[in-house]
Chain A
Amino acid sequence: MTPVISLERISHTYAGPPPVTALHDVSLVVERGEYLAIVGPSGSGKSTLLNVIGLLDQVTIGRYLLDGVNVATLSDAERAAMRGGRIGFVFQAFHLLPYRSALENVMLAQLYRSAPRKARLAAARESLRKVGLQHRMEAMPTHLSGGERQRVAIARALANHPQLLLCDEPTGNLDSATAGTILDLLDELNNEGQTVLTITHDPLVADRAQRLVAIRDGRLTDEVGS
C-alpha cells in the first residue's frame, strides 16, 4: 500500500535575499492510518514543513509523493485540486467564515469540486454528525464555543474524505479542557482509520500521537515511537 506521505530528502530554501534554508534534507514516510505528531519550537521549520506537506509551498530539492503522486509533476490546477480533495486542513485560528452558518462553512469544502449542491449538503451534514454537532448545524460561528468552532473546522476538513488530516496547532486557541475533547475527537477519527498529522509545539498535544517526530533547525532530529 502506498504511504500517504513520502518525503524523500527534501530541502526548502526561501529565495531571500538573503536566502534562508528552512528545511535540510528531510525524509519522512507517513503510512495510511497513522497518527503522527511533528513537534518543534517556533522557527524550527515546522511551518515550512506544514506548507510543503499541505501543497501550499513547493520543495526546492528532493521528491514529495502525496498519496503516491509526485506533486512536482502536477499543474497548479491539479495541485489545488489535490490540496482541496486529499488534504483536510485544521487551523489554530479555525478560519470559519463569520457570516455563514456551521453547515454553510462545512459546505464550503466542496465548493471548488464539481459537486452538486445537494451532494455538498449531504456530505456537510454527515461530516457535522461525525464531529458531534448535528444539533448545531444552523448556528453561526459567533454563537459557537471555541471547541464547537474547532469541531466545525474539523468537519469541514473531513467533508471531502481526505487521505490526510493536517492539523496546525489544533488546540492553540483553546483552554486545556476543551483541547482535551478536540484531541479525543482526533483519537477517535484515527481509530476509524483516518490518517492524522499534527504539527505543534505543545508536548501534551504531541503525546496523543502514536508516533512523534521532532524538528529543530530544519532537520528532523529524532523519531520516537510510542
Chain B
Amino acid sequence: MRLRRRPWLVDVEPSRLSVRDMAAEAAAGIAQRPGRSVLTTLGTVLGVGAFVAILGLTSTASGQISEQFNVLTATTVTVKTVDERGFGESRGEGPATGTEPVDSAFPPDSDARITRLNGVETAGTWRRVHFESDPVIAASPEVRPGSSTSLGGISPVFAASPGMLRAVEASVTRGTPYNGFHERRGERVAVLGATAAQHLGITRLDSRPAVFINQQAFTIVGIIGDTRQMPEMLAGVIIPRGTADRLYGPASVESSEEMLIRTRLGAAALIAGQAPTALRPEDPGLFTAVPPPDPRTLREKVNQDLTGLFLVLAAICLTIGTLGIANTTFVAVLERRAEIGLRRSLGARPRHIAAQFLAESTSLGLLGGMVGTCLAIATVVGVAVVQDWTAVLEPVAVLPAPLIGALTGLIAGLYPALRAARIEPQKALRQ
C-alpha cells in the first residue's frame, strides 16, 4: 500500500476568521448587553476624559497667561542701576541745592541715547524726589496747618524726563506736557496727575496756576488724565528731571532712578541687551536691563506645575478603567462558555475565540476613549466659555487619546481572552 501524502489537504481548508467578521462579532457582543457595556467603559471614559481635560485645561490656562502677557508688557524694558554701585552713595547725604551739574548714573541725555537705538519708540527716566521730611504741597504759598497733601512716607513728587511722559502713554487732558526745553533749562514747571489736581482744587489752567512744593512755586503746564503704566503718577506732581536735579540734587540711594523704554514689538530682548552700553559705553555694568519675561518659559513652568499631579490622577483612572474592562470581559467569558463551545464546534480555533474577546475589550476601550475625549473637549470648551478664555486643545494630545482607551481595552482583554481560548469545547457544550 502506498503511503498517502495527505491528499485530502486540498479539501480541508483551515478555519479562518476575517478581520471584518471579527469586528462584526465584537460589535454584536458589545451591543447585546448595552447597559453593561456602558458601565464597563465608565472607567476608561473617566480616565481618558481626565487625561484630555487636564492637558486641555492646562494648555488653555497657559494660553491665557500668554494672552495677559500682552503687547504692553512685551514692549517694556526697565533699566535699573546696580544698587551697590549707585552713584548717589558716594556723594554724601542731604538735598543738594547746588546748581552745578553733577554725575548721575543716567547721563542727562539718556532719553536721546536710547531713543536713537533702532527698535525703541520712546524712553524716559523717572525717580521719586527725596525730601528730608514730608514735602508740603499746596495750591498757594500760604499754607494753613493740616492742609498738606503729603501721601505719607512716599514722596508724591516725581522727577521724570519728558520722554517718560510718552513712555507711560500719559494722556494730557489739559495744557501740554513739559518738553526738552524745560528739561534742559531746569524750568520750574510741573505736570499734575489727575488725582493730585483734584485734591489741590486745580481744574483750569488758563489762569496759569502754580503748585507750591515747600513754598517753591512751579507753574502747572498740564494735567494728565490717565497713564497706561505707573498709575501712581496720577496722584503726584511731576517735574522735569533737570529741574529736580537743579533744585533737589540728582538721584541718590533714597531716590534711585529708573528708565522705562518702550520698544517696538519683538525688539524688547534686543534693546535690553543694548541699552546699558548705549547709556554708558564706558561702564555698561552699571545697569541691569530687565526684558519682559519670555512667554514660552512662563507657559512651560505653569504646565509642569499643574500637569504632573493631574496626570497621575488620570493614570489612576485609566488603571481602574482597565481593571473594570478586565473584570467584565472575564465575567463575559465565564457566562458565554456555551457560546465558546458552540463556536469551537463550528470550526473556530482557540485563536479565533481569543481574537474575538480581545476585539470586544479593545472596542470597549476605544469606545470609552472616544466618549471620554468628547466629554473632555466639552469640559474644556465649557470652562473656557465660562471664564471667557480661548480654549486651546493640542491635536497631539487629543487625537491619540481614544487610542489610549483602545490600548487599555487590549491590555484588559489579554487574560480573559487567553482563558476563553483555553476553554475545552466538549465541557462547555455539555452545560
Contact = CB atoms under 8 A, between A and B. Distances in A.
A168 B429 CA distance: 10
A80 B18 contact: no
A203 interface: no
Interface string B202-237: 000000000000000000000000000000000000
A110 B375 CA distance: 40
Nearest to A105: B342
A75 B18 CA distance: 20
B265 interface: no
Interface of B: 6, 8-9, 11-18, 21, 25, 28, 31-33, 338-339, 341-349, 352, 424-426, 429-431
B12 A56 contact: no
Interface string A93-126: 1010111100010001101111000000000000
B15 A81 contact: yes
B348 A80 contact: yes
A111 B356 CA distance: 12
Interface string A59-91: 000000000110001111110111111010101
The 3 tightest CB contacts between A and B, nearest first, are A84-B347, A99-B32, A77-B14
Given A97-B339, A111-B25, A77 B426 contact: no
B426 A68 contact: no
**Chain A contact residues: helix, strand, loop or mixed:** mixed
Contacts of B343: 108, 111-112
Contacts of B14: 75, 77-78, 80-81
Interface of A: 47, 51, 54, 56-57, 68-69, 73-78, 80-85, 87, 89, 91, 93, 95, 97-100, 104, 108-109, 111-114, 156, 168
Contacts of A81: 12-15, 347
A111 B431 CA distance: 23
A209 to B, nearest CB: 22
Nearest to B6: A73
A89 B6 CA distance: 25
Nearest to A98: B32
A113 B345 CA distance: 13
A156 B424 CA distance: 21
Given A95-B429, A111-B21, A84 B13 contact: no
B429 A91 contact: yes
21 contacts: A47-B426, A51-B426, A56-B345, A56-B429, A73-B6, A78-B9, A80-B14, A81-B13, A81-B347, A83-B345, A84-B15, A84-B346, A89-B429, A97-B342, A100-B28, A100-B32, A108-B343, A109-B346, A113-B347, A114-B13, A114-B18
A89 B428 CA distance: 14
B16 A114 contact: yes
Contacts of B345: 54, 56, 83-84, 87, 89
Contacts of B33: 99
B339 A112 contact: no
Contacts of B352: 112
Nearest to A73: B6
Nearest to B18: A114
A68 B430 CA distance: 28
A84 B343 CA distance: 9
B426 A112 contact: no
A93 B338 contact: yes
A82 B31 CA distance: 31
Contact of B348 (A56, A78, A93, A112): A112
A156 B343 CA distance: 12
Residue among B9, B345, B346 with most chain A CB within 10 A: B346
Contacts of A57: 426
Contact of A80 (B11, B15, B32, B342): B15
Contacts of A84: 15, 345-348
A99 to B, nearest CB: 3
B301 to A, nearest CB: 54
Residue among B21, B341, B345, B429 with most chain A CB within 10 A: B345
Given A95-B338, A111-B25, A83 B347 contact: yes
A76 B349 contact: yes
A83 B426 CA distance: 12
Given A77-B349, A93-B429, A112-B343, 17 more contacts: A56-B424, A56-B425, A56-B426, A69-B11, A76-B349, A77-B15, A78-B9, A80-B15, A80-B347, A81-B15, A83-B345, A91-B342, A91-B429, A95-B339, A99-B31, A108-B346, A112-B348
Contacts of A76: 349
A99 B16 contact: no
B430 A47 contact: yes
B349 A113 contact: no
A94 B431 CA distance: 11
A91 B346 CA distance: 12
A56 B425 CA distance: 7
Contacts of B8: 68-69
